[in-house]
Amino acid sequence: MAQTLATIILQHYPYAVLFVMFAISLWGLIFKPNIIKKILCLAFMFDAINTLYALSCWRWAKYPLPAILTDLHPTPEELKVFASSAVDPLPQALVLTAVVIGAATTAALLALAVMIYRHYGTLEMSEIRKLKG
Amino acid sequence: MPTLIYHFPVLSMVIPLVGAFIIPLLSTVTSDRRVFAGIALTTISISALLVWSMAAYVFTTSKPIVYIMGGFPPPVGITYYVDEASALMASLVGFVGVLVVIYTLKYLEEDYGVNWFYILMQTAYLALLGLTYTADLFHMFVLFEVTCISTYMLVAFRKDKPISVEAATKYALISVFGTGLYYFGVWYLYNTFGTLSMPDLVLKLMGQYWTPTGAPLGDPRIGITVFVLTIIVALGILSATAPFHWWLPDVYTAAPAAVAALFSGAKDGVMLYLMMRILFTLLGAGSEHAILPFSNAILGLLLMMGLLSALLGSLFMLAQTDVKRFISWCTINHVGLIVVGIGLGLTKGFLALGGVLAAVLHILNHGIIKSELFMCTGCFTKQVGTQDMMEMKGIIKAMPVTASFFLLGCIALIGIPGFAVFWDKFVLLATILDAANRLSPIYLGVLFVLVITMAIEAFAYLRVIQWFVVSEPTEKVKKARESSPVMIIPITIMIAVSALLFLMPSLLLGLASKAASALLNQERYVAAMEYYMKLLVHH
């Protein structure tokens, strides 16, 4: 029983860590007034989700191998073994795209933060409430 | 079979993209604003013509257009799928896009750096078009980000105004969070089903696992529940449905009027269209055999969100004196009506068709009229120099044409017969009454709340009409002159289209009901792309 519990924890702790990371970034996004901290939290949130994507590469293979086939003329049996043991390459492509998008988003947000500082002389959202909502 | 038309979805996006890349190159050799505006107008007009011809083709032949990116069939590659609903929404985006660009020719004449404005305008436009076509969930995420990043900067276009920058920051923070949440939902769906291609997902939900991605790996019911909740929140944030509506009035007030017109005309509509596309076409929420856990709870959630938006929007309209803020709260009110329509789509069967029909009609007609109203406010602020309605009293004497079009727009949104919005409200209320008859008397409560919000909205608009028509002109208004014809032409076209659509209900309802049944028809969605998916299966 104890062993199975340990296995379960070992299998699932990355998810737990990432969900905690997600929750922290959500908390920071809502309760921290500083814009730079908010941007950091958003970047943090995207990192957490990107890592979740990366984790899901391993979700069907028990002992996964990199998606590389070394034999130039594989037999159907080798291909079957390869397909059942290789990691899923799609999430890696998705994460690569999302990282680029995240960089662009962060750049746009930082540009806005610079302009906020030039206009108001502060980065605290709570001090610059000109708009009432 | 004309083959060129199958490339129109991607061509209509690539042409504005090319324009967006040409403008920065040209701005190294020239600084003439007419060159930049000309390029933007040309690319967006060509793109809109392509979209309209595609819509005409789809509606006349009833055959959806499927475009396979790079020749990779659906579960592997990105697919564009244009049926009646996508074509209708894309036509709306094209219509609003062209008229907004015409409007900016004069509206932005005193601003500097218009080249950046037109670059962002084109990218926002093409991303909105792409969102209407796409049949791939991750591609949808990428297009969300393209729309959002270009629109943050469009909101902050007048960067010397502190409120523009502040509103843009607020909008950017909340919508990055919204897209992040969508990204999370997509991850959960991928973890459960092992695919992100929408036709492939529909097949899996129907219980057919012959595509290369195989059977689902996790429990489909949990996967769908998580996904539905995340997309309702994410698209609720992006379309400003209550309780995620609070960013919208600030953003629309601080953004240039042309940007607000594009937002309320096209962006909100496209986001709500995506909500319908995902709920009905992807998850089959409108059909009897759908695997959608807690279907009634989701129906209740959507109705509550819609009613709350409608109520808050109409109540806060009464408290506003800023003309743009006033119309922004009205947008929230109408988004609420659309969300109630989407919610009714979950009631299955004939009522579902009525609800989705009302939502599609209202996205279309509300988008046209709301863009028109924002364009009018741009004319007022340009001439009077303020956004305060108290200082715009009696404006009909100084700017008779613009002000009368503004008032016609107000009358149209109240839902008085004469403009196409009447048909939306009619279909929506009739459907709710029908639901009260067939399902449960709770819908009478929904009807009651909606009628009250419509009455409050009508009162708020009548008060504005009184200020603008009956009151004596103020000093600032006396100095104002009529706006340039270039700004009045798009406004006239929008009002005229709305009036014409009212006079041709068979055309309007015909188009919209084809779109609504296309949204609800999962079998047709899969059948159109099945041929391509079978290419990957070895027999």
Q: Which two tokens stand for residue B411?
A: 């009358």
- pLDDT (0 to 100) of residue B391: 87
Kindly tell me if the per-residue pLDDT of B350 is higher than 60.
yes
Higher pLDDT, A82 or B485: B485
| Segment A33-75, tens digit of pLDDT | 899 999 999 999 999 999 988 888 876 666 666 667 777 888 8
Among B3-7, B146-150, B261-265, where is mean pLDDT lowest?
Answer: B3-7
Among B144-148, B154-158, B210-214, B224-228, where is mean pLDDT lowest?
Answer: B210-214
| Segment B426-473, tens digit of pLDDT | 999 999 999 999 888 889 999 999 999 999 999 999 999 999 988 888
What mean pLDDT is predicted for residues B349-362?
91
A131: nearest CA in chain B? B250
CA distance B456 to chain A (A): 20
- pLDDT (0 to 100) of residue A87: 79
- pLDDT (0 to 100) of residue A43: 92
Model confidence at B229, in pLDDT bands (50, 70, 90)? very high
B331-B436-B297 Cα angle (round to 5): 70
- pLDDT (0 to 100) of residue B121: 94
For residue B387, give the 3-state DSSP assignment.
coil
B311: CB partners within 8 A, 6+ apart:
B336, B449, B452, B453
Q: How far is CA B269 from CA B91, B258, B437, in A?
A: 12, 16, 30
Q: Do A49 and B176 touch (CB under 8 A)?
A: no
- pLDDT (0 to 100) of residue A63: 64
Model confidence at B476, in pLDDT bands (50, 70, 90)? confident
B250: nearest CA in chain A? A133
B319 inside 8 A of chain A by CB: no
Cβ proximity of B331 and B248 under 8 Å: yes
Q: Tokens 């042409």 label which residue?
A: B15
Q: How far apart are CA B480 and CA B370, in angstroms?
A: 24
Determine phi and psi for B507, rounding to 5 degrees: -65, -50
Model confidence at B109, in pLDDT bands (50, 70, 90)? confident
Among A63-67, A105-109, B150-154, B381-385, where is mean pLDDT lowest?
Answer: A63-67
Helices B295-318 + B323-344 axis angle, to 10: 160
What mean pLDDT is predicted for residues B344-362?
90
B191 inside 8 A of chain A by CB: yes
Q: Which of A46, A94, A130 sits opposite B163 (nearest CB)?
A: A130
Q: How far apart are CA B18 and CA B14, in angstroms?
A: 6
Q: In the 3-class helix/strand/coil scheme, how is B130-197 assigned residue by residue?
A: HHHHECEHHHHHHHHHHHHHHHHHHHCCCCCCHHHHHHHHHHHHHHHHHHHHHHHHHHHHHHHHCCCE
Kindly tell me if the per-residue pLDDT of B131 is higher than 70.
yes
| Segment B496-516, tens digit of pLDDT | 999 999 999 999 999 999 999
Kindly tell me if the per-residue pLDDT of B16 is higher than 60.
yes
> For chain B, what's the residue count?
539
Q: Do B172 and A97 touch (CB under 8 A)?
A: no
Q: Which two tokens stand for residue B225?
A: 């529940």
Higher pLDDT, B220 or B52: B52
Q: Which of A53, A59, A97 sits opposite B142 (nearest CB)?
A: A97
Average pLDDT across chain B, whole number: 91
| Segment B17-35, tens digit of pLDDT | 999 999 999 999 988 889 9
Kindly tell me if the per-residue pLDDT of A12 is higher than 90.
no
A26: CB partners within 8 A, 6+ apart:
A41, A45
Q: How far apart are CA B282 and CA B204, in angstroms?
A: 10
- pLDDT (0 to 100) of residue B49: 96
**Which residues of chain B have a CB within 8 Å of the CB of A117?**
none
Model confidence at B54, in pLDDT bands (50, 70, 90)? very high
Cβ proximity of B399 and B380 under 8 Å: yes
- pLDDT (0 to 100) of residue B357: 94
In this prediction, what percent of chain B has a pLDDT beyond 70? Answer: 99
